[in-house]
Every structure is written in structure tokens, then in C-alpha cells.
Amino acid sequence: MRPDERFTELWTDYLEGELDEGGIAELRELLSADEALVRMAADSYQTHRLLSLVAQGSSESRESFVRETMARIPADGSCFMDRVMSHITPQPGERRAPAQRALVLRWLPWVAAAAVLVVLGAILLRAPEAEPDAAQVTEVVGAVRWTSGDGEVADSLAIGALLSGGTLEVLGPESWCTLRFRDTSTVTLSCSGRLTISKLAQKELHLQVGALSAVVCPQPADRPMLIHTPEADLQVLGTAFRVEVGSSSTALRVSEGRVRVTRLADGSSAEVPSGHRAIASLDPRGTLQVVPRSAPTTEWRGRLPDGTIHGTWVPSAGGGGRLLATPLLLHRDGEPITLRVAAQSVSRGGSPPVALEANSAFRVRGSVASAGTVHFGFSTARMDGQFAGKFIIACPVPALTDGAGVLDLWFRLTDFQPLASVDGGALPTGAPESADGLELRDWWWCTREGDLGLAVSSVELTVSDTVPPPAPGPAPSNLGEALKAAGFERLLGTWVDAETGGEDIRVTYGWRFEDEVMDITASDRTKKTASLMGLNSGTGEVYHIGVDSEGTSSLGTWSFKEGEAVLELGFTTVAGEQGGRRFRHEFVDDDTMLMTIDYPEPVVLRMVRVKGK
Amino acid sequence: MRGGETTVFEVIVRRFEEPLRAWLAAQSPPAVDVDEVAQRSFVAAFARLDDYELGTNFGAWLFTIARFQLMTEATRLRRIADYHARYAPDLLQRELERRSSEPPESCQARLAHLKTCLSALPEHLRRFVTWRYEEEIPLAEMSARSGRSVPAVKKLLWKLRRQLHDCVERRMAAEGAAS
């Protein structure tokens, strides 16, 4: 055995606590003979310790550490954390682009804590009376737009950016943005909302459309937070509430404290206490009524077109109708993207809150004109009304349509994934991983790959124990059907990496036997590979088998989910070494595809179709 | 001076717990309970708040306290008769001491990069890290679950740590070049 192999063995035993005294002595001898091994051991040791820390990194574990630490510190009666926290927001010069977020977070604790103590004295001496109450972006997901008071438009916002005197828009159903004011009051804008933030010292917001949930710290009696909507004025002294603006009404739900609401149509006003709701509409026959919040229900059926957020309602001659998905242009990473969206609010109006449970299931009915992948998603709130997150599932349409192109789809709650934060893909701290126990606020249904003629006739939520089990779509009978169902029949053709025009990698997908077996030939700078892809009709699995010019054989499977085709390969070299690799494929458009090779540091290749061959 | 400090101090604990634990995890010799030293550091910092000079770098002040707490703990361990025989190759300890002069913030950057690198690992490899560090199951159990021999599992863990270390280093270098 070579010394480095022996070192590997001893060192691993050492980290596992399995090294006896003789082993320790041997390890020490190897280390003293080779300085490089000492460095390697220290590298490995540090990685080992940091991995343990990462494993303990759950919010519960961190919370437990804080609790244990604070339990060891003598208690103290007074409290002015809010005022202290109000002084630790980054200054305008400290804004960073999303990609630099890690760097910001790395320095933030030092900047923040230094600020905490430095400002302690200053806070007690002087309150910042005349400063505009800027709001700091603490979370942003999806497409947003900020238009400043002087008309400057930004199509992205960085965590930590300070907003004052301008309009914030969250674009599309998959977006939201959370802001924190200096006194730690927070507001979350969602549901394709548009919010104008004043430049005044007093918190003053204009919610033109969308949903805003807020937790507001106690405000000075002479300077309450003011929220204006097209139908109502809200005056907030410190409370938690949610307000949602529809086409001609504002719905307010208070979960803590009190909010004074004034109905603009007639000037009537009322205080809405905790656990109550109020609706202010423009209907001249209506009045401002404050009523206790209803008990939640677990079953719901949307009465389209009520509560429509996106889409065009087309009535049918025999009653009912369809909500046609309409285009919505967004910018992601600076690139324009057009979604076709149909969406409906669940929580507008006077209907009871809808509670999601582990065995809840959505039934979605509608139609499509052509094949593709559609995404169904929904927004949630905690039962106290505060925004909780969004959840989504991707669904290949053709496999689930009947002969008339009519959709009748079932989605169980457990099938949905949380929409992650846009930079890094990680869930925001404290964000729920499951929608079980949350309240349903809205749903949306969209396509990202062109107009499929998507329309929705009804959406309902039910408890799966009380309905027939979801009807699975017909299983594909061959590879061609499986690829079509996933929207990956477009793989056919020759693809080269855009950067070198195929010198780095070139892949050709073609039928060996049409719709049954696909030939895949690939070449890179060092070798060529020949593979076959086929469908196991018994299991429905899409298999992959290949060999390269160096004799390495590979065996794997393809899976298709959420617009992504994933090839998981296990390989064996001629020397008998084994390993695994994952390749992910995602279409940008019909002629462009991103191929990600999951090395520890993923490699992303932009592949373009070779035309005319 | 001390009015309201407990409440404010909790904010400080929340802000600093991760960087401090990351720094201690990377610098502590074997057998040191990192969380214990981190908690002692916070308690000591709270007790000495009057010594903190307003306007200076609070993070640096806290890490200085932590460095002394770690030295105290390491000294205590060294005084245990069979510590070296059982736990710590002295050359490793010396190398860690040498590295402890690295700025504390680089440890937190390492931690952040490690999380990214870990999430990029293919699932069939990441599960070994989960088993070892989250579930903390024995090697034999990992062997049974994966169908690999125990030596093969050990070798894989070694390779994974190296891969992750290399990935972190690349990211640190790229960040350094970009800044």
C-alpha cells in the first residue's frame, strides 16, 4: 500500500474515532515525514468540522444555541431592541448585486453589531425625526421592478437595497418582495402587487393592486402608518394585518391589534379589531361592515371569474366559461420572458379562509390547444394572515389530456415544491417547506414556453380521503410519447456548445428506431461516446446505456420533471473505477438548451442547435 | 450603561453565532466542544461590555475574546495526560494554530461556500454526507444502506471531503480575484 493510501485510511479512521494508539503513532510518523500531508490533514479536518456545523445549521439548532447562550446571561428588564435594530440597516453605498449577497452577509454581522453598540448612546440622545423612513429589501423572489420618484426603473432589486420615494411592483404570480422599515416593521407585497412608498418621515404606502401583509411595530400616535388603496384608507398604530386590493374592493383582515379603515366611497370609517375583517367597495349600495373572521374550511371551489388576477374570462353559451391565460412579459436575469398566466385570488371577498392539510388535493379542469409543460402554483399565508410562501408543480400536458384536449388534473399537496429564493435557490430562513397547515390565498396556472392555448374552467380544493384517487394519465407506450409528454422531443438534432461551436462538446440525438430507441452520439476534446435511450414499458423508466472510445461504459436513467430532463449515469472505467454523474437539460427556447453537469462545482454549458443538418 | 443590554445582546448573539461557530469549528483542535467555547465567549463578552470601546470593531473584539477562550480550553486539554496520545497529532494542532491567524470572516465565507458546494453534489454522493454528519450513523450502517464495503465508504468520505475542500478553495480564489 502506498504511503498516501495508508495515510488516507488512517486519517479517515482518525476522524471516525476508530484509530487506536498504534494507529495514532503511525499517523504521527507519516505526518512528520511529509509536510504536505499535514496540510492535507488540516484541510480535511477543517472541512470535517465545518460539515458538522452545516449539519447543525437548521433554524431549530441555531435557535437552540441562541436560547442556551441567553440562558447563561443574567436577565435584564428593559427593552429597546426595535430602536437599536432600526439603526443597523446598510447604507446606500453598501448595496450589492444579488451575486454578491454572500459577501454582504459575511460582512453584515460586523457592520451591524458595531452599529448596534455605537448607536446605543446616540439613540438615547436623539431620535431621527425628519429622516425619510426608507424600507430595506429583506427578501425578493421572482421578477420585481422598482421605479424611483425621478423615473429611474430597475428590473431587479438586491437584498439590502433601501427603498424610499418610488413604486415597487412584483410581477407575475411567482414573485414576492419583503421590506423592513427601520423600526423592524415588515411588509410583504405579493399577488402581482403594486405599492408606492412615500418619501416622507411617516410610513405612507399606496397599494394600487395586489396583496400586502404587514407586521407593524407600535407607531407614534401622531404618526401612524398610512395605507391608501383605491377604495379605502387604513390607519395603523401597530398591528398585524393583511390587505388585498381587487378590481373594485379592498379586503382587510386583522390578526393582531386594531386598524382604522375609512371607506372612500362614502367616508364611513370603523376600527377593525383582531380576528375581524372588513371589505370596502366602490359599490354605492354597499356599506362598510366589520365582521368576525369565519372559521377556516378545508374544501373550496373557485367561482370564476370572481377574484381573477390574471387571464381573460370567456363565457360559454351554456353557462360557465373559461379563464384564458394571457401573456405577461417579465425580465429574468436581464432577459425578457413571456409567461401565459391565469390566476385567481381565493381570499378576496367574504368567503371563509381555506386551510390546506397534508391530504388536500387540487382538481384543475380546463383545456389546452397544444402540448407542453404547464406550471400550477399557489400562494399561502400563515393562519395569522402573514405571507408564508408559494408552492409550485410542473406538469407535462399531453400525457394528461384526453382526446378532446380537455384537462382534468389532480395534484396532491405533497406533490408541490416551495418556490425558493431567487439568488441561490435556498429557502428563506423560517420559510415553510410544506404547505400543510397554511392558508390558501391564490392559485395560478402558467406556461413558460409559448402559447399552448391554456384555459381553466374550474379549480377546486378538496380533501383527498373524500374523493376518488387522482386519475393517473395514460402511461406512454413508447419513448417518443414519453419525450413528447415531457416536451423533450425537441432534443432531436445536433447540439454544440455555444462557446466553442462544438469543439468542447457536440451531441446528436436521432432515432435508431422511430419513437422506440434513440441514438445519442457525443464527442468532446478527448473522446467519443455512443449511447442508446429507450423506454422500459414495464416500469415506465427511460433507460440509457453507453460506451466511450476509452472503454468506459455507462448505465443510467432519464427523468423528466419541472421542465428539466435529468440523466443520472453510473460509469465504470476500463481500470474498474466506478463513479456517477448527473446531467441536467433545460430548454431556453427550441434552439437553445442549458446542459448542467453536476460536478461539485457545476458546469453549465449553453448548447445551441445546429441548423440545416 | 447596562440598561436593556440583555435584549440587545440577543440580537448580537443571533448575528454572530454562525461566524463565531464557523471560526471555532475551523480552528479548534480535536475534542474541543465548539458550541461550549462559543457560548462561553458570548457570556464573557457580555460580562465585559463595559470594556468595549464604542466606535471600534465589535466583531474583532468578540473574536479576540473567543480566541482567548479557545486557548484556555486547548491548554486545559493539553494538561490532560493522555490527550495527545488519544486525540491530537501535535503537527495537526500546530497547523491549526498557524491557520488561526486567518481573518475570522474568511471562515464564514468558507462555510457559505461549503453549503453551496454541498448542495451541488449529486444526490447519490450527498446522501453519504447526510448520513455521516446529519444522521451520524456508523460506517457499517452506511455500508449496508449503500451496498458498498466499509473501506469503500471510508474512501468515498475521504474523496468527498477533498472534493468539497477543493470546491471551497476555488470559490474563495474566485471571490478574491473578483473583489
The residue in chain B having the minimum alpha-carbon distance to the alpha carbon of residue A35 is: B91
Sorting pLDDT into bands at 50, 70 and 90, what band is A80? very low
Mean pLDDT of chain A: 79
Query: Which grid cell is A611?
Result: 441548423
Taking an 8 Å cut-off on Cβ atoms, the answer to whether B17 and A69 are in contact is yes
Q: Is A205 exposed, middle or buried (0-12, 13-18, 19+ CB in 10 A)?
A: buried
The CATH code of the domain that includes A185 is 2.60.120.1440
As a whole number of angstroms, the distance between CA A449 and CA A339 comes to 8
CB nearest to A601's CB, from B18, B114, B167: B167
Hey, is A291 helix, strand or coil?
strand
> Does residue A139 share a domain with residue A201?
yes
Please tell me the predicted confidence (pLDDT) of residue A534: 92
| Chain B 32-91, residues with CB within 8 Å of chain A CB atoms | 34-35, 38-39, 42-43, 46, 52, 54-60, 62, 85-86, 89-91
Mean pLDDT of B113-139: 89
- Say how far apart CA A235 and CA A249 lie, in whole Å: 17
d(CA B96, nearest CA chain A) in Å: 7
| A33/B contact by beta carbon, under 8 A | no
Cross-strand bridge partners of residue A395: A374
Work out the average pLDDT over A491-498: 92
The verdict on residue A406 lying in a domain is yes
- Contact of B28 with B34, CB cutoff 8 Å: yes
Closest CA to A517 of A529, A535, A539: A535
In this structure, the answer to whether residues A348 and A495 fall within a common structural domain is no
Count of domains in chain A?
Answer: 4
- Mean pLDDT over the full length of chain B: 82
pLDDT tens digits along A347-392: 776 678 899 988 899 988 888 877 778 889 999 988 777 888 899 8
Option in B59, B112, B133 nearest A102 (CB): B112
How far is it, in rounded angstroms, from Cα B59 to Cα A207? 40
Whether the pLDDT of residue A152 is over 90: the answer is no
Mutate to test the interface with B, among A37, A101, A105, A117 (most CBs of B within 10 A): A117
Measured distance CA(A144)–CA(A69) in Å, rounded: 39
Residue A195 falls inside a structural domain:
yes
Average pLDDT on A502-524 reads 92
Same domain, A446 and A498: no
3-class SS string, A353-406: CEECCCCEEEEEEEECCCCCEEEEEEEEECCCCCEEEEEEEEEECHHHECCCCE
pTM of the complete model: 0.48
Peptide bond into A92 cis (omega under 30): no
Within-domain flag for A69: no
Is A171 found in the same domain as A42? Answer: no
- Tell me whether residue A71 is in a domain: no
Domain membership flag for residue A68: no
A75's grid cell: 436577565
- Residues A230, A143 share a domain: yes
Least Cα separation, residue A118 to chain B (angstroms): 5
CATH of domain B1-100: 1.10.1740.10
DSSP letter at A288 equals -
Higher pLDDT, A285 or A413: A413
pLDDT over 70 (residue A47): yes
Q: Which of A84-98, A336-350, A511-525, A566-580 has the highest mean pLDDT?
A: A511-525
Same domain assignment for residues A418 and A560: no
Residue of B34, B82, B95, B111 to mutate when probing chain A, most A C-beta within 10 A: B95
pLDDT of A421 above 70: no
Same structural domain, A35 and A152: no
Contacts of A602 in chain B (CB under 8 A): 120
At B6 the pLDDT is 65
Give Cα B51 to chain centroid, integer Å. 27
Instruction: Classify B88 as helix, strand or coil.
Output: coil
B6:A73 CB<8 A = yes
Tell which of A100, A110, A559 to mutate to test the B interface (max B CBs under 10 Å): A110
Q: How confident is the model at residue B88 (pLDDT cuts 50, 70, 90)?
A: low
Residues A240 and A95 in one domain: yes
- Whole-angstrom CA distances from A318 to A63, A79, A363, A366, A407 are 58, 64, 22, 16, 19
Q: Are residues A565 and A540 in the same domain?
A: yes
Do A135 and A243 belong together in one domain? yes
**In chain B, which segments carry CATH 1.10.1740.10?**
1-100
Question: Which of A251-255, A446-450, A579-583, B77-81 comes out lowest in average pLDDT?
Answer: B77-81
**Dihedral, CA atoms, B50, B52, B53, B54, nearest 10 degrees?**
-90
Of A238, A259, A292, the position where a domain reaches its end is: A292
User: Is A604 inside any structural domain?
Assistant: yes
Cβ neighbours of A464 (radius 10 Å) = 19
Cβ–Cβ gap B105/A110 under 8 Å: yes
**Domain interval for residue A315:** 300-466
Q: Given CB atoms, is B122 within the 8 Å cutoff of chain A?
A: yes
CATH pick for B103-179 out of 3.30.2320.50, 1.10.10.10, 3.40.50.2300, 3.30.200.20: 1.10.10.10
Instruction: Indicate whether A459 and A485 sit together in one domain.
Output: no
- How big is the CA angle at A445 (ends A442 and A447), to the nearest 5 degrees? 150
Task: Find the angle CA(A460)-CA(A461)-CA(A464) to the nearest 5 degrees.
Answer: 125
The residue whose grid cell reads 480550553 is B73
Alpha carbon distance A534, A537 (integer Å):
9
In a domain, A34, yes or no: yes
Q: Is A55 on the interface with B (CB under 8 A)?
A: yes
CA A326 to chain centre: 22
CB contact under 8 A, A581 and B99: no
What's the distance, CA A124 to chain centroid?
41
Q: Check: CB of residue A581 under 8 Å from CB of residue A597.
A: yes
Using the beta-carbon criterion (under 8 Å), do B164 and A107 form an inter-chain contact?
Answer: no
What are the tens digits of pLDDT across the range B9-57?
788 888 888 889 988 988 888 878 889 999 999 988 888 877 777 777 8
Report pLDDT for B90: 75
Of residues B57, B105, B129, nearest to A51 (C-beta): B129
Q: What is the ipTM of this complex?
A: 0.84
CA nearest to A423 within chain B: B116
Among A13, A38, A55, identify where a domain stops.
Answer: A55
Percent of chain A with pLDDT over 70: 81
- The answer as to whether A171 is a domain residue is yes
| A221, A314: one domain | no
Q: For CATH 1.10.10.10, list the domain ranges present in chain B.
A: 103-179
Average pLDDT value for residue range B111-137: 89
Q: How confident is the model at residue A177 (pLDDT cuts 50, 70, 90)?
A: very high
Q: Contacts of residue B92 in chain A, CB cutoff 8 Å?
A: 31, 38, 41-42, 45
Q: Read off the amino acid at residue A358.
A: A
CATH code, domain carrying A493: 2.40.128.20
Contact B34 A49 (CB under 8 A): yes
A284, with CB counted inside 10 A (0-12, 13-18, 19+), is: exposed
